[in-house]
Amino acid sequence: MKRRKIVAGNWKMNNDLNEALGLVTEIKGIVKDEVRNDAEIILFPPYISLASIAKNIEKHPILLGAQNVHQENVGAYTGEISVSMLKSVGCSYVIIGHSERRQYFSEDNELLNLKIKRAISGGLVPIYCIGETLEERENGDFWDVLKTQLWEGLEGISAEIAPEKMVIAYEPVWAIGTGKTASTEQAQDVHSYIREELAEIFSPETAAQIRILYGGSVKPDNAKELFSAPDIDGGLIGGASLKSRDFCEIIKAVG
């Protein structure tokens, strides 16, 4: 079965409500007029804009996700947001383990594993992010780092999981927001390694159908080549997702 490509826009801590609605309206317009492929488009705005954007895209195939979620479903966790809350405002996806969460908020594989399990049991599809730092790439440790992130993050998840209920994003930390992209060959090597590991964690059949996204300075001028690699099933886009024209050119690069 062909894997449907995903183009996901991670807005991070950008755009207030008005700016968010403006950006979505522009994206909808360009997608309607110019996008002819079947890319799955997912937007990840800050929490406060989710409900309004959900209304704005009601009759549009664009999907919605959150940038993070708490591992418990209810309780005294001031400032946190649960899976069922995200579902109630129209989210179907959630990013889990973005390197900025790992780096600035001390989220580790064990915690991320709880979040992934909570997302799945509550009916959200996790986009689980893994990736090595520059130091880990340069000293050659990165294969082990990626392996540990995968095995610990996905520990205890049923091998029977439906492949469309799980997405992995490979985001080398040294390529995020730096303008440095992994070469298509570097990214493809890692993606094929991730798929081999997923075959062991789940099954070869499931691994063959799970989407693996690349993230890290994806731009209109490098998206087409990256997306043409056999194991790259789309992108998680940061900076370029904040400009409607750039984001839509990346969507068009799906082919």
User: Which residues of the shown chain bind ligand PGA in the complex (CB under 6 A)?
Assistant: 10, 171, 176-177, 215-218, 236-240
CA distance 32 to 61: 10
When the beta carbons of 120 and 127 are compared against ligand PGA, the nearer one is: 127
CA torsion sign for 48, 69, 135, 168 is negative
Residue 171 designated active-site = yes
- Per annotation, catalytic residue among 40, 107, 171, 197: 171
In sequence order, what are the beta bridge partners of 93? 65, 125
When the beta carbons of 65 and 215 are compared against ligand PGA, the nearer one is: 215
- Per annotation, catalytic residue among 98, 107, 136, 197: 98
Work out how close the CB of 5 gets to ligand PGA at its nearest, in angstroms, rounded to a whole number: 16
Work out how close the CB of 58 gets to ligand PGA at its nearest, in angstroms, rounded to a whole number: 26
Work out how close the CB of 27 gets to ligand PGA at its nearest, in angstroms, rounded to a whole number: 16
Q: Is 77 buried (19+), middle (13-18) or exposed (0-12) by CB count in 10 A?
A: exposed
Residue 19 designated active-site = no
Work out how close the CB of 68 gets to ligand PGA at its nearest, in angstroms, rounded to a whole number: 13
The DSSP call for residue 120 is H
Work out how close the CB of 8 gets to ligand PGA at its nearest, in angstroms, rounded to a whole number: 8
Neighbours of 165 (CB within 10 A): 16
Angle at 247 between CA 48 and CA 208, to 5 degrees: 95
When the beta carbons of 75 and 179 are compared against ligand PGA, the nearer one is: 179
Q: Tell me the C-alpha to C-alpha distance, in Å, between residue 51 and each of 68, 87, 102, 196, 235.
A: 16, 10, 26, 38, 24
| DSSP states of 71-83 | SSSSSS-TT---H
CA distance 130 to 145: 9
When the beta carbons of 157 and 218 are compared against ligand PGA, the nearer one is: 218
SS3 state at 66 = strand
When the beta carbons of 33 and 104 are compared against ligand PGA, the nearer one is: 104
Looking at the annotation, which residues are catalytic? 98, 171
